Amino acid sequence: MGTTHRPAYELLEWTVDYGEGPRPVLVPHAWRQDVPVGWEGPAVYRTRCRVPDSGGWLLFHGVSYEARVEFDGEHAATHRGIWDAFSVRLPDRPGEFVDVAVRVTKNGGPTFPVRDVASGFLPYVYHTFGGIYQPVEVVVGPEDPLATPPPPAPCRVRTDGSRLWVDGEPFYLRGVLTWGWYPEVGHTNPGEATIRHEARIAKSLGFNTIKFCLWVPTHRHLEILHEEGLEAWLELPLWDPSPEPDRLASIAREIERIVLQYRHHPNILVWTVGCELSHGTPHGYRRGLVERVKDLTGAALVKDNSGGSEMYGGDLREYGDFYDFHPYCDLPFYPPVLDSLLPGARRAMPVLLGEFSDIDVHRDVARLRREGPYWGSPDPALNDQGVRWQHDLPRILAECRLCLPEEDRRHRRLMESSRRKALFIRKTVHEAVRERAPIAGYVVTGWRDTPIATAGFVDDWMDARFSPEETLPWNGEDCLFLIPTRRPPFHKGGNRPGWLDPFVFREGNAFWRIGASLAEGGRFAMEWRIRRPDGEVVAQGRGVARAFEPFVPAEGAEVAWPEGTEGRYRLEAEVGGASNAWEIEIVRRPDWKALGGWTIQDPSGRLEGLSLEPGDGLLTTAWCHGVSEALAAGRRILCLADGPCTTPAPFWREAAYEFLDDSFWSALGIAERWERFWAVSPDCVLDVETLGRNLPVGTTIEPLMLRIDTRTYAEAPVVARCRFGDGVMIATTLRPDGGLGMQPFGLARNPSGADLLARLLRVLAERG
């Protein structure tokens, strides 16, 4: 703990009794699958120790939750709290042996409900855990080893407006969030090899900080991170607590004990008192905790509520040294949401995104089904729902078609597709974050896949999901980014916010501004080039040399490429030793008159300005009875569905996609090319049941692009082909007209959307 240098020895011989007799165990220990997961105890741990000649204390480094300590059958002390150490004086019988019993009752049961104590978030990931999960030592000497807490570590952090400085150097916080999920040991005290392995992966992927979200690691955990060159953000375990004053007071006392025992760690740069607190925690309570943590630590970065009341409700008075938000957005909405969270005229403080950018991928459900981990079991004794609001994994492993051996090829393809989609999302989002000067850092959700989410940078087996080559260009110290090109449309009497697609352009219109946020200041000139897929450089240039300040985003080059012709390319840029690249495409302006005859039905005006040769084909943006009749009459129909026959669903978050019918997607040319979907992605899916009720009886509905919810594994198409006799309809929620978030507004401003619409009409006309 760093609290004493007195002689001590660890007690090694323990038994535990769950009511059926003692059995030997090794401490640290959690009782895990020895008993049903909902059992709260008490479990009785026993050992025997010799009282030192000069007296001594039993030092418990961590017990979850209540520990009633007895010596030779006599009650000696009771401690409540998962995360703080406590000490009990041994009997005044030098040289004699005493029998020690520790009756442990865990939280989460009827005695100590989750919300009544500082449980953290782990119960919502899987369950609470019970046991003596950290070492127990005999400390020699008459003085209480916890009587004099260690002094606080010197403050290493300085703020200057929105900027951070650590050890006198500019610092940009790049963190990853962990909830303490270690299913191999069943508690939050993994072995040193595991901690070091995690630290080295995290550092290789570009992270410089680990956020302990609503739990407290061991002291050794923090020491290893320090040895590996990683900083820490310690978020105290206050989340959705009971509003009862006596419960809150008890939690506050435990928090104070934790802070006193942990304040000496020099790599704890940030403290947050709690997370996403709402009406259950009065503003005065939060203010008092911030003041107490500041007083005890002298830390420069203390905040009452990670996430903030502006996002999560409650009293809008907030306290602390920085702004902290948790934006969880679908991709096109991230930049405007980030802009809405910037300080403006508020007090100049750093903005830290305490959680953000979760992207659930398709996990290896087939392997999980084969291995059968306890946390995926349908047996409530192993995996009861507890307080979790989501408990889908047992059903998924039992029912999901992608677990079957005959589906292995589709399963593997979907895993890689969703991984690459997650990579595109995170790259795009992080570049948007690095462009905004008031944001001084972020924490990504999250480190490891869990029973409730698959947004991890490592998977269920602690294998890295991404390579350093894939992450360092946007998660390293340096980051180059595309600066959005503004194009506000004039609509219904005035301008509205609007931008251009950064990835897809029409011939003659390719243009970018490229910016950079660099760790090292200096004067640099940005170099750029555009390559074909075969590596041939077709354009290149150099920006004007300019001075860059550390971690202050600035424009480095303006790239105009009117000579670009139809095709796929790669835009690359370098400055000051940093580099980044983006997949881009040049498309031709569609020849609408060559696409055959189409009647446009567009009462909402989504296709404003589009002119097609009239004919038997039907292009509609509104569901009405005429669609069913047109299909029954054998016509070709393209339905851009929105509203009726659709169900809300995010396109980017919590989703993977299967692209079915290779010939269809070969004609469209955009399958799994996520930069092509940026400007046309929807916020809903087709409701097949409702769609079927509104089409002629006997209509077949064939999914062509299938959304798979990566949390529930519910399936719904984004594109579907409907057939009745000679009639064919393609229905889709994709948006050729864009208009969501940063997507270009309207078909005329959306090259990717116009190209998609033209290809869909051509496929319908030629192939059905």
- Please return the burial class of 26, using the count of CB atoms within 10 Å of its CB with bins 0-12, 13-18 and 19+: exposed
* CATH class belonging to 482-587: mainly beta
- Please return the burial class of 347, using the count of CB atoms within 10 Å of its CB with bins 0-12, 13-18 and 19+: exposed
The rounded distance, in Å, linking the Cα atoms of 713 and 728 is: 28
Kindly indicate the confidence band of residue 568, based on its pLDDT and cuts at 50, 70 and 90: very high
492 within 8 A of 524, measured Cβ to Cβ: no
The rounded distance, in Å, linking the Cα atoms of 282 and 30 is: 35
Is the four-CA dihedral 227, 228, 233, 237 of positive or negative sign?
negative
633 within 8 A of 627, measured Cβ to Cβ: no
User: Which tokens belong to 636?
Assistant: 């070709």
Percent of the chain with pLDDT over 90: 93
728 within 8 A of 740, measured Cβ to Cβ: no
User: Which tokens belong to 429?
Assistant: 């989002």
Read off the pLDDT of each residue in 412-430 and give the average, rounded to a whole number: 98
Distances (CA, A) of 686 to 401, 603, 606: 21, 20, 18
Residue 5 confidence (pLDDT): 54
Within 10 A of 511 (CB to CB), how many other CB atoms are there? 14
Contacts of 459 (CB under 8 A, 6+ apart): 363, 364, 448, 449, 465
505 within 8 A of 564, measured Cβ to Cβ: yes
Distances (CA, A) of 463 to 366, 467, 476: 16, 10, 20
Q: What is the DSSP string of 180-211?
A: ---TTTTSS---HHHHHHHHHHHHHTT--EEE
The rounded distance, in Å, linking the Cα atoms of 261 and 265 is: 9
* pLDDT tens per residue across span 67-124: 999 999 999 999 999 999 999 999 999 999 999 999 999 999 999 999 999 999 999 9
Task: Tell me what the pLDDT averaged over the chain comes to.
Answer: 95
Question: Residue 494: in which H helix or E strand, if any?
Answer: strand 494-495
Kindly indicate the confidence band of residue 3, based on its pLDDT and cuts at 50, 70 and 90: very low
Residue 4 confidence (pLDDT): 46
At the topology level, CATH places domain 158-363+415-476 in TIM Barrel (3.20.20)
Residue 354 confidence (pLDDT): 97
Kindly indicate the confidence band of residue 2, based on its pLDDT and cuts at 50, 70 and 90: very low
For residue 525, is pLDDT > 60?
yes
* CATH class belonging to 592-766: alpha beta
For residue 367, is pLDDT > 60?
yes
Could you give the angle at which helices 468-475 and 408-434 cross, rounded to 10 degrees? Answer: 20
37 within 8 A of 384, measured Cβ to Cβ: yes
For residue 394, is pLDDT > 50?
yes
Read off the pLDDT of each residue in 194-198 and give the average, rounded to a whole number: 98
Kindly indicate the confidence band of residue 719, based on its pLDDT and cuts at 50, 70 and 90: very high
* pLDDT tens per residue across span 671-681: 999 999 999 99
Three-class SS string for 75-133? Answer: EEEEEECCCCCEEEECCCCCCCEEEEEEEEECCCCCCCCHHHCCCCCHHHHCCCCCECC
- Are 482-587 and 592-766 the same fold in CATH? no
The rounded distance, in Å, linking the Cα atoms of 697 and 520 is: 67
Dihedral, 411, 417, 421, 423 alpha carbons, nearest 10? 100
> Cis omega (within 30 of 0) on the bond before 741?
no
Kindly indicate the confidence band of residue 9, based on its pLDDT and cuts at 50, 70 and 90: confident
Least confidently predicted of 36-40, 319-323, 465-469, 488-492:
488-492
Closest residue by Cα to residue 537 from 473, 474, 502, 581: 581
Within 10 A of 622 (CB to CB), how many other CB atoms are there? 17
Superfamily of 8-140 according to CATH: Galactose-binding domain-like (2.60.120.260)
Read off the pLDDT of each residue in 259-284 and give the average, rounded to a whole number: 95
Kindly indicate the confidence band of residue 623, based on its pLDDT and cuts at 50, 70 and 90: confident
Beta bridge partners of 99: 48
For residue 369, is pLDDT > 70?
yes
Q: What is the DSSP string of 379-402?
A: -HHHH--TT-S---HHHHHHH-GG
pTM, two decimals, is 0.95
Residue 768 confidence (pLDDT): 63
Read off the pLDDT of each residue in 741-756 and give the average, rounded to a whole number: 96
252 within 8 A of 260, measured Cβ to Cβ: no
For residue 652, is pLDDT > 60?
yes
Helix (H, G, I), strand (E, B) or coil at 474: helix
Helix (H, G, I), strand (E, B) or coil at 164: strand
Question: Residue 288: in which H helix or E strand, if any?
Answer: helix 283-297
* pLDDT tens per residue across span 315-328: 999 999 999 999 99
Question: Residue 356: in which H helix or E strand, if any?
Answer: strand 351-356
Closest residue by Cα to residue 515 from 539, 538, 546: 546
- R_g over Cα of the chain: 30
Closest residue by Cα to residue 166 from 158, 176, 178, 175: 158
* pLDDT tens per residue across span 689-716: 999 999 999 999 999 999 999 999 999 9
* pLDDT tens per residue across span 537-547: 999 999 999 99
For residue 242, is pLDDT > 50?
yes
> Cis omega (within 30 of 0) on the bond before 42?
yes
For residue 302, is pLDDT > 80?
yes
The residue ranges of every structural domain in the chain are 8-140, 158-363+415-476, 482-587, 592-766
